[in-house]
Structure 1
Amino acid sequence: MTPQPQNARPNWTKYLPPLLAFVVVALLALLLLRPAPSSGESSGLIGKPAPDFTLRALDGQTVSLSQLRGQPVVLNFWASWCGPCKEEAPLLHELSAKQGAQGFKMIGLLFQETSEQNARKFIAEHGLNYPNIQTPNADTGVAYGIAGIPDTVFIDKNGVVQHLDRGGLTRERLNVGLEKIGLPKL
């Protein structure tokens, strides 16, 4: 029988490094793959005045948020290449049909749009009949804390942000935002 060296480790220790690596990878995966919150309740903008902007819409008109004070506003940040933006477009079309009757304004803000032509095609295909603004830089999105699209900001008639919804809207999530700015459910 051969004597074992003094520093010999038990057999189970050879499994320790792969086991630790697995645990670390599993924890990272859980954190990274966890769905993003759909609501911006924790956003620093909630309860604060909406950042003002004056920009030119694709149809040539100038749109200034401060000029809309006195009526609720729904801002939707989107781009033509965005999959969830395409999915929520029929809902936004339906909502936009109620603008005049319910006394609110909708505005689309193109965020990280790569082609004005594609944006115009998207607007026509989905019948979006509200101003859509090509933001010349990321300043407007940054002011609203937009990190991804689509994001929808709900502003009350006093110009105060009441709700921010991150990700593609569903009817239920849209209705949460509408109620927070005093509008009836869709």
Structure 2
Amino acid sequence: MKNTMMKRNVLVILAVVVLAGIAVYQNFATKDRQASANKEAAPKPNYMAPGFKLTALDGNVYEVGGTRDKPLLVNFWASWCGPCELEAPDLKQLYDKYEGKIDFYAVNMTASDRMDNIKSFVKHFEFKFPVLLDSEGKVGELYRISGIPMTYLVDKNGVIKEGFSILHPDELEKRIKQLIES
């Protein structure tokens, strides 16, 4: 009798271990599939730029997605971001130099920023290009922005050529020239 009870207990324990193993495996497999799906949804080179429309500080609505007359630089930033502050003079200088050949959109992560700080930043750095306001954070989510500044270069066909954080001004200008010439 003792032997039978022992065998039954071993079988029960073995069954619990097997079932727990299956549950753990399925949990990790689901997380891997979700992570893979999230990576696929993120903007990446040689894919269409996710489309959006946002209102800018100037009151106009600007759109990204689809074909355009000119290539586009889309820069995600916030007024409280130190690297954004370092990058701002370079963006202004490059916009002034290539105005008419490429569009610049500065997408402010407004959901995590203050309007008075945004306006002060834009005035201080003399941004002449549209400053779009992502007040609900939806565009930041769409583009999977996890750190700023983040810049995407988009060709006339609406295809992302590349995405990067901060670059040396000479390297940024080189990439802008390549985009204009392509």
TM-score (structure 1 length as normaliser): 0.68
The DSSP-based 3-state class of the residue aligned with 1:133 is strand
Which of the numbers 93, 109, 116 marks the counterpart of 2:107? 109
Paired letter, 2:160: V
Contact 2:76 2:150 in 1 (8 A): yes
Contact 1:77 1:149 in 2 (8 A): yes
Q: Deviations over 1:143-170 (max 9, x none)?
A: 222111000110011110001112x332
Matched, 1:158 2:127: no
Counterpart Cα distance in 2 of 1:67 and 1:58: 23
Matched, 1:122 2:130: no
Counterpart Cα distance in 1 of 2:125 and 2:90: 10
Aligned length: 140
Instruction: Map 1:54-65; keep pairs closer than 5 Å.
Output: 54-65=53-64
Counterpart Cα distance in 2 of 1:142 and 1:180: 28
Other-structure match for 2:39 = none
Instruction: Map 1:68-107; keep pairs closer than 5 Å.
Output: 69-101=68-100, 103-107=101-105
Counterpart Cα distance in 2 of 1:157 and 1:130: 18
Cα distance change of structure 1 residues 68 and 89 upon mapping to structure 2, 3 Å threshold: farther
Counterpart Cα distance in 2 of 1:68 and 1:119: 29
Other-structure match for 1:169 = 167
- Which of the two has greater helix per residue? 2
Contact 2:53 2:62 in 1 (8 A): yes
Matched residues, percent identical? 31
Q: Deviations over 1:54-98 (max 9, x none)?
A: 110011111112487131000010000000011011100101113
Counterpart Cα distance in 1 of 2:50 and 2:65: 9
Counterpart Cα distance in 1 of 2:67 and 2:141: 21
What residue ranges of structure 2 are gaps of 5+ in the alignment? Answer: 1-41
Counterpart Cα distance in 2 of 1:68 and 1:59: 23
The DSSP-based 3-state class of the residue aligned with 1:98 is helix
Paired letter, 2:139: T
The DSSP-based 3-state class of the residue aligned with 2:51 is coil
Counterpart Cα distance in 2 of 1:130 and 1:67: 20
What residue ranges of structure 1 are gaps of 5+ in the alignment? Answer: 1-42
Counterpart Cα distance in 2 of 1:115 and 1:157: 33
Paired letter, 2:136: N
Cα distance change of structure 1 residues 44 and 126 upon mapping to structure 2, 3 Å threshold: closer
